[in-house]
Each structure stands twice: as structure tokens, then as C-alpha cells.
A and B are shown apart, each in its own frame.
Chain A
């Protein structure tokens, strides 16, 4: 084992980009957990829905064969991100209606929610694997943006899509933070996460707030799905499997239920994973990342920033 100092810069940059993708997905896990104390294991397939919706909308429905530039590109990118976000938000709403609300109405045990979540995740993921949908292979996404080098940072080439990913993620995280901390909806969400009974007595419409939470988490997951398709150049039925676990880990690392924690956890996990190759091989990256997770949780059992929506 010998360390290669030349790798520190490039792996920092690539890890950071990956980390922001984790962070965007982690938002969905952390928000639902904050409100329902439920780990929404189906969030990985909600993320996949966003990527797949973009794949179909801009690959099959509107066939785009040439890359855009300038102002047109900005509009196309906004349309792409909104399409992904909207599809996943709709998916998340349906998920809440069909898989969680019936259980909540009957006061089901927490374990039933968990199994329902896993069932929904498998259902959606394996539906997408069917031939008439995405199918079992990786599907190349439409090239409406030319993936070129935008800048070189610490010896790492960053593509324009990489820049887009980071910028979008930062905007999303900032907007969400404002929503949670400065709007009425945000106040309701925070109230619910602290005490459901008290919130209901104070006139908070619990069902509506829960749906809103799912919509917001799904929306950002869908944006992450759309960015994934652009960044890697393909979508695939099981694109959420590994990323979902990583994002969930990021949420726990930062403090589950805590939105700023999800941001921090995502970026940290991406950095730890990628920088593990500086001294050791990449086959060790998951070993190292998860060892760090356990260490952090031993020192701070509630994650780095602690639990609680709103980052306080």
C-alpha cells in the first residue's frame, strides 16, 4: 500500500460531484423519515422513475437527435429536470396513496410499513425491467446536450453536465432549506416531525402535509434521476438499487430527518468513497465508506448534525 498524493485533487473533485447526486436522493429518505419515522425504501424506484420519464419523453415521445446550445439548451434542460421531477412527484404521491396511507388508516405496525415499502420498491423496479418498459439492458439516453469538458479543477476534468449536476443540487438544497424553514408548509412539516398528535390538535392537516412531503422528496429524487441520465448517458431499470442504499447511508451519516444533514452526508460519503483510492484500491471503497459510517455513528449515534427536520 502506497499513497499517491497526485490522486487527492482529482478524487476530491469527482467525489464531490458524486456526493451531490447522493445528497439530492438522500433528501427524499430524510424528509419522509422526519415526518413519518418511516424509511421509504421505495424511494430508489421513485428516483428511477424520474430518469426513465426523461428517457421516454425526450428519447421516444419527442425524439431529440441533435444537441442544443445557448438559450435553447437552457430551456431544454429546465424542461428535462422538471419532467423528471414531476414524474417522480406523481409516482411518490401514488406510492403514498397506495402503499402507505391504507396502512396508516388501519394503524398498522411499523414493520408492515417497512415491508410495504420494500414490496413497492421491488414492484416498481421489476416492472421497469420488463421488456415493454425499460427492459433488462442499459438504455442510452437522448443526446440533447454535448457532454464536453467545462473546466479543469485540481487536475480533474469536470464536464458541463457535472457542473450542471452540482449547480442544480445546490439550488435544490437551498430552495428546500428555505421552504422548510420559512414557509407555512415548512412549519407544518416541522411540527409534524416533532409531534404528530400535537400538530393535528393545532390544526395541521396531517394527510396533506404527508403528501406534500412525499411530493417534495419525490420531486428532488426525480431531478436526480434526470441528472443521472445526462451524467452517465444511460438509464437502467436497477439504477436506484445501489444509489438508493448509498443515499440512505448519506442520510443516516448526516443525521436522518435532517435536511442539511442529508446534504452534508451525501457530499461526505461521495468524498470518502472516491478518496479511498488515494491510498488503497477502488475495490475497498465501500469497505472504507461503511467503516467510516459505523465510526461516525459510534461517536454520534444520531448522525453528524443530529436528527430533526430543519437542521437545528
Chain B
């Protein structure tokens, strides 16, 4: 009896130890090449998924930061040499918080590009803002972050309040459906998008079924799929992430639902195609991320990413490049001997004072909450899944695709 209890306890402890060991984040300090400007260094921190499930989303963003820092170091016009301190949170808020505490201890840390996801941004915002470290996310789109009172928070992309209406406008004006079914995963992100889209479509006079909901922890959506099949809508809009959007699209298609599948930037991930299999082709998503290969202003950036990483820039890479360059521009006004705390404060006030600063994807003006001013048509892009490319390919910014 006594021994068996210890046996069970021991088994559980081993299990926990294994889980804990495998979940630890790794921090790689990498100097981003180029010539040293002087003996001093300034650190730009990054935080996001560099390994694990969401690495396919995090790594391209990281590459945008690396290109910007390398270019600055090569040009040599920043008073101190820049290094990047990469923190790999695996996109998990629980891992992000301790990494953030560790990051703000760095005496050379001037700013952070990231965190990349909404959950980890909400989990670490207080740590960064109470340390006075400016943090600019190039990719976290949740529309509650700006209301948390994070004094040093900036966002270089559109939040979800902008994406929903643009998706609805595209559906209304381009797909011209009679009936639309809206589904969401009951997450903060998916639900708010789905409700916005449903509301906008209803007021445009389109028959809307839903929002219906799926349980993201389950994998059989047949109950919802039967409902959709019964309505036989022209468009199915899904608010949520690729891990559920893929299987949902597949199950809809197998049930014989012919409507156009339409989703959001949470679905804009190659995992969608893996899971949706034969149903993936032609699926549409909106994303507050420009496609740099289609932007004339970004051609140098695209070439730089190709040279350094041998690939095209991924989702949000160009936005991360822009965010990093905004920080670098502010750093150019500092002196090498300046106190780091003062530099952090200067960057915050510099960013707040920007007026239509030119980046490669858009111009940047931040409001009091740190939110970049967004043009809901120009800055939201439409992408379509292509089996041939095994990825989403851009159709263009909403302004072009919708046509006014």
C-alpha cells in the first residue's frame, strides 16, 4: 500500500519533470553581423514562437527583425552596435512571462519587437511597461490589448476591430452571396471577428445563419456541419485558428457544402492546407499583413530576406522589419554613453510623436494607446489558398480587390 502510493507519486513526478524540461524556453543571444560601430552595444529583444507548434508563424517575423538590425549595423549609423536577444516563448503565455522578467534585467536592452501573439502580449505587457521598456508588436491583433493600460505598448498592424468589417465588405461586394453561415470557436479572437462579420452582413441585407459555434477541443464538427448543409450557404465564414479551420473546412466539403470558405489571419498558416487536405484549394482569408512581394517599396527587403534566409518573407515579416526600423530611427538620435533608462523613455516619446513615418508596408502614426493608424482597406490584404504553392497567396490589398 505504502509503496504503491510512492510508485504513483513517482510516476507523476517523472511525467511532470519531463513536461517541464521539454517546455523550457531557450534564449539565443546572436549578434546580428555587420561591423561594430563602437565598443558599446544596445540590445533589441524579441519574443515569440521560434520552436514548437507555432514556429512557422514566429520564425518569419524574427527574420524581419534580423534583416533590419543587420542593415543598421552594416550602415554603421547607430551610435552603438545592435544585438538581438531572441526569447523563444513557443507562443505560450505561460512561458512568455518568466522570459519577459529575465529579458528586462538586461542592462543594454533598449526596446522589444514583439511579443508576436496576443496571449503572450497580454501576459507580458505589464512586465515590459513597468520596466519602462517600449515593446512594439508586429503581429498580435487582439483588440483588447490597447485597453490594458500598458504605457509602453505599440502595435504596428491593424487590430481585429478593423479586420472584421473588411472581411464583411469583401464578402458583400465581391462574393455577393444570398446566404452566409458564420461559425466561430468561442475564443476571444474568433468570436469577436465572427460577431462583427455577422452584424455587418445582416445590416447589408444578407441572410446570415449563426454565429454557430464549434468546440475547439473537439474534433468532430458533424452537428454544426449538418446545420450548415441544411442551409446550404454561398459563403461560410469562420473566426478562429488554422488548427480547427482546416478540419472544419474538410468536414464541410465532405458533407457536400459547396459555399466559399472564408476565414481570418489566424487561419493564414500552412497548417491549414495540411489539415483541410482536398478542401483547402481556394479558401480565402483576410490578414492585416501586406504581401511584401507585391509592394514596390519592399523590393529591397524581399531581396535582403532572400539573401539572408533563402526564402520569401513570411507573414508579418515586413511589419516586423518596419517596427524594428522605427526603433532604429529613434536610436540614431541617441549618444553612445546615454543612460539606457533614458533611451527607453526617448524611444517611447519618439514613437508617440511620429507623424506618418514611412515604412515599407504603410505609414506609421501611433495614437495615445500605441495603436498604429490603419486604413481598413489598404492595410488589410486578401489571401487565397493555393495547393500548387502549398500556401496562401495574396490577391492584393482589400482596396484593390474590392474596388473602392
Binding site for B on A (CB under 8 A): 4, 6-7, 10-11, 14-15, 17-18, 99, 102-103, 106-109, 112, 115-116, 119-120, 122-123, 126-127, 129-131, 135-138, 140, 143, 147, 149, 155-157, 159, 232-234, 236, 238-239, 241-242, 273-274, 276-277, 281-283, 285-286
Whether B289 sits at the interface, judged by CB under 8 Å, is: no
Specify which of B7, B212, B218, B278 is in contact with A147 (CB 8 Å cutoff): B278
Find residues 192-246 in chain B having any chain A CB closer than 8 Å to their own CB.
Answer: 212-215, 217-220, 222-227, 229-230, 243, 246
Cβ contacts A to B, 25 pairs, < 8 Å: A4-B230, A7-B226, A10-B229, A10-B230, A14-B225, A112-B4, A116-B7, A116-B8, A126-B15, A130-B18, A131-B51, A135-B52, A136-B52, A138-B275, A149-B256, A156-B226, A157-B255, A232-B247, A233-B275, A234-B246, A242-B219, A274-B223, A274-B226, A281-B213, A282-B227
CB B8 to nearest CB in A, in angstroms, measures 5
CB B246 to nearest CB in A, in angstroms, measures 8
Are A131 and B52 in touch, CB under 8 angstroms?
Answer: yes
Binding site for A on B (CB under 8 A): 1, 3-5, 7-8, 11-12, 14-15, 18-19, 22, 51-53, 186, 212-215, 217-220, 222-227, 229-230, 243, 246-247, 250-251, 254-256, 271, 274-275, 277-278
Are A119 and B1 in touch, CB under 8 angstroms?
Answer: no
Interface centre among B53, B214, B227 (most CB of A within 10 A): B227
Q: Is the interface of B mostly helix, strand, loop or mixed?
A: helix
Are B256 and A137 in touch, CB under 8 angstroms?
Answer: no
A10-B226, A241-B217 known; A112 and B243 CB under 8 Å? no
Closest to A286 in B: B215
Specify which of A7, A116, A143 is in contact with B277 (CB 8 Å cutoff): A143
Are B220 and A99 in touch, CB under 8 angstroms?
Answer: no
A115-B8, A126-B19, A136-B53 known; A234 and B226 CB under 8 Å? no
Are B1 and A282 in touch, CB under 8 angstroms?
Answer: no
CB B179 to nearest CB in A, in angstroms, measures 15
User: Which chain B residues border A136 with CB–CB below 8 Å?
Assistant: 52-53
Taken together as a complex, chains A and B put the C-alpha atoms of A273 and B250 apart, in Å, by 21
CB A153 to nearest CB in B, in angstroms, measures 12
User: Which chain B residues border A122 with CB–CB below 8 Å?
Assistant: 12, 15
User: Which chain A residues border B4 with CB–CB below 8 Å?
Assistant: 102-103, 106, 108, 112, 116
Taken together as a complex, chains A and B put the C-alpha atoms of A296 and B251 apart, in Å, by 32
User: Which chain B residues border A11 with CB–CB below 8 Å?
Assistant: 222-223, 226
User: Which chain A residues border B14 with CB–CB below 8 Å?
Assistant: 123
Are A140 and B275 in touch, CB under 8 angstroms?
Answer: yes
Are A102 and B254 in touch, CB under 8 angstroms?
Answer: no
Taken together as a complex, chains A and B put the C-alpha atoms of A285 and B256 apart, in Å, by 23
In the complex, besides A130-B22, A242-B217, A277-B226, 5 extra interface pairs with C-beta distance below 8 angstroms are A99-B11, A112-B5, A127-B15, A131-B51, A155-B229
User: Which chain B residues border A241 with CB–CB below 8 Å?
Assistant: 217
Are A119 and B52 in touch, CB under 8 angstroms?
Answer: no
Specify which of A106, A127, A233, A286 is in contact with B3 (CB 8 Å cutoff): A106
Closest to A12 in B: B226
Interface centre among A11, A18, A273 (most CB of B within 10 A): A11
User: Which chain A residues border B214 with CB–CB below 8 Å?
Assistant: 282
Closest to B222 in A: A14
User: Which chain B residues border A239 with CB–CB below 8 Å?
Assistant: 219
Are A123 and B15 in touch, CB under 8 angstroms?
Answer: yes
CB B291 to nearest CB in A, in angstroms, measures 25
User: Which chain B residues border A276 with CB–CB below 8 Å?
Assistant: 223
Are A156 and B255 in touch, CB under 8 angstroms?
Answer: yes
Interface centre among A130, A159, A233, A242 (most CB of B within 10 A): A233
User: Which chain B residues border A138 with CB–CB below 8 Å?
Assistant: 243, 246-247, 271, 275
CB B168 to nearest CB in A, in angstroms, measures 22
A11-B223, A17-B222, A239-B219 known; A140 and B277 CB under 8 Å? yes
CB B240 to nearest CB in A, in angstroms, measures 13
Are B22 and A131 in touch, CB under 8 angstroms?
Answer: yes
Are A119 and B213 in touch, CB under 8 angstroms?
Answer: no
Taken together as a complex, chains A and B put the C-alpha atoms of A281 and B4 apart, in Å, by 46
Taken together as a complex, chains A and B put the C-alpha atoms of A281 and B211 apart, in Å, by 10
